[in-house]
Amino acid sequence: MSAAAITVADLRKVYRVYGSPWNRLWELFARRPLHREFHALHGVSFELPQGEGLAIIGENGAGKSTLLKVLAGVTTPTAGRVHVSGKVASILELGSGFHPEFTGRENIRLNAAMLGLTPDEVEAKLPRIIAFSELGEFVDQPVKTYSTGMAMRLGFAIATQVEPDVLIIDEALSVGDGYFQKKCMDRMQEFVRAGGTLLFCSHAMYYVANFCQRALWLRQGRVEELGPATEVIRGYESFLLKKTEARGTTAAPVAETGARPARLTETRLGGGRAEAGRRLVAYGEPWRLEIDWETEDPGLQFHLAVGVDRVDGVQVVSFSTVRDTLPPFTGERRYRTVLEMPALPLIKGEYTVYVYLMDEANLHPYDARILESAFVVDNPSYEIGLVRAEHRWGSKGTGL
């Protein structure tokens, strides 16, 4: 068992909320409190061994960012015990820790020094940090002139290139373009493989499952579940689904913005027949999906992932070239591939198809396409369930 990199015991964080700034002042003289208490964290306890990744998941307002700020040393706990071993680097709120009047280069020196690097170590790592950030001539411009994406590039470059023992990352990566997001994900994978300890907060459960062995689900400041990442994710997604059903709404997918090294150009469904703007397919008929994509870099490698969900959000089946042990696509600028089911096993329902163009590690999506209500299973009779499973009936004899 590895030594603990992070130990948290009965952690509590309470904020005082005032109706106005004047109430904070008057409370000094009044004989009664003029604030209300907001309990952001209630008795949170966990231990994270060195060299493991822990995902912090939960709804907005659950206390995730507060927990990460306490662990990063940005804020102090109200009660409880927190111990973090080794050098800690964090990416929390964009621009936090940066002096807006200083240039990017000056902020690199300042932040690296705050992380404990000597002047000689800072100068030795400076070219590598600047190269990773890809800020070019902007590295010598004041940080106050940076876009949110540029600030994220600088923060991530500093946090990962100073070789911390513990890396803490909040949702900051979501503002980067597709190219730099992939670069960050690759660097995080290298960090974990090299034995680094990672705390990662994200709403993207796919990333969570790939980076972290365990997950901590916070709900209203309390630990709802702590355990293997796949099990905790399953419980959290089930909770969200029930909540969505109770509200009678479905979550809209968030489109990725920014530059993409590759993009899907067309997706076409085949099989069955087209009728009134949709495709009708019967049980047992061939089902076909053609996927086209293009890239300016023929050296890139690609995998594909496809999901089929019932229109109410129930996940029915998924396909992946990685899971089927196929080699990545590479060496071309334009591609076309076909996914086929010789005999559709579905017996009823209306379905949405999700297509993902993935990187060589099957981790970062370059592009995605959602085919809303892509096809309907045409069945003249009513049957219970979604699929027909291959089966047989047998008899052990006629005696009772």
* Strand-pair partners of 370: 354
- CA distance linking residue 118 with residue 134, whole number of Å: 24
Whether 171 has a pLDDT exceeding 50, the answer reads yes
pLDDT digits (tens, 9 = 90+) for 173-188: 665 667 788 888 888 8
CATH number of 4-247: 3.40.50.300
pLDDT digits (tens, 9 = 90+) for 322-366: 999 999 999 999 999 999 999 999 999 999 999 999 999 888 888
Q: What are the Cα distances from residue 99, in Å, to 91, 107, 357?
A: 15, 7, 38
Q: Where is 182: in which H helix or E strand?
A: helix 178-193
Q: Residue 249 has what pLDDT? A: 46
Q: Residue 176 has what pLDDT? A: 60
DSSP secondary structure string for all residues of 57-78: E--TTSSHHHHHHHHHTSS--S
Whether 159 has a pLDDT exceeding 70, the answer reads yes
Question: What does pTM read for this prediction?
Answer: 0.73
Residue closest to 177 by CA, chosen among 140, 136, 147:
147
Q: Residue 254 has what pLDDT? A: 41
Are 222 and 44 spatial neighbours (Cβ–Cβ below 8 Å)? yes
Domain boundaries, the chain: 4-247, 262-377
Region 302-327 average pLDDT: 92
Of 110-114, 250-254, 258-262, 274-278, which range is least confident?
250-254
Banded pLDDT at 259 (limits 50, 70, 90) = low
Q: What share of the chain has pLDDT > 90, as a percent?
A: 44
- CA distance linking residue 85 with residue 79, whole number of Å: 19
Sheet holding 222-228, edge to edge: 88-91, 166-169, 197-201, 53-57, 214-219, 222-228
Q: Residue 256 has what pLDDT? A: 45
Q: Residue 147 has what pLDDT? A: 85
At the fourth CATH level, the homologous superfamily of domain 262-377 is Immunoglobulins (2.60.40.10)
Task: Give me the chain's average pLDDT, please.
Answer: 86
